[in-house]
Amino acid sequence: MYNKVILIGNLTKDPELRYTPQGTPVCTLRLASTTKYKSGDSMKDDTLFINVIVWGKQGETVAQHLAKGRSILVEGRLQERRWESDGQQKSKFEVVSNVVRFLGRKDEGGQHESSGDSDFAPPEETTDLEPF
């Protein structure tokens, strides 16, 4: 089996860093990733909101250097978490990351700048999808 996810998007809130009872860092991110597609003669946006889990030292680094609005690339695997609440089965999908790339830096005025090899401006993704 093969389970790999690569997403580019913007953080919708600041990272949340916690520690397990054993002291392992775990950081939770909320990512918004938008795909543009053509519907008839107009362009539409489809935005996916997904939680990302970053473990260990990388989680601490992410929490220290990232903030809401920052663009990142996340590479990892998709996992489903299941639990029961008030007698009902619930579940949600999230990405467990093994790579987080910072895609843009904020300059002193709070604006994103894109210079240097570590920065990356993703191409706008356009597909021809038929609405159902």
**pLDDT tens per residue across span 22-46:** 999 999 999 999 988 888 888 888 9
- β-pairing, 126-127 with 25-39? parallel
Q: What is the arithmetic mean of pLDDT over 107-117?
A: 45
E strand map for 2-128: 5-11, 16-19, 25-39, 42-55, 71-85, 88-102, 105-106, 112-113, 126-127
Query: 106 pLDDT band (50/70/90 cuts)?
Result: low
How far apart CA 99 and CA 85 sit, in angstroms, is 32
* Residue-level pLDDT at 38: 85
Given CA atoms 119, 124, 129, 132 in this order, what sign does their dihedral have? positive
Confidence class for position 126, pLDDT limits 50, 70, 90: very low
Question: CA 65, CA 14: separation in Å to the nearest integer?
Answer: 10
Which one of 2.160.10.10, 2.60.40.1120, 1.10.3720.10, 2.40.50.140 gives the CATH number of domain 5-105? 2.40.50.140
Report domain extents, the chain. 5-105
Q: Say whether pLDDT at 83 is over 70.
A: yes
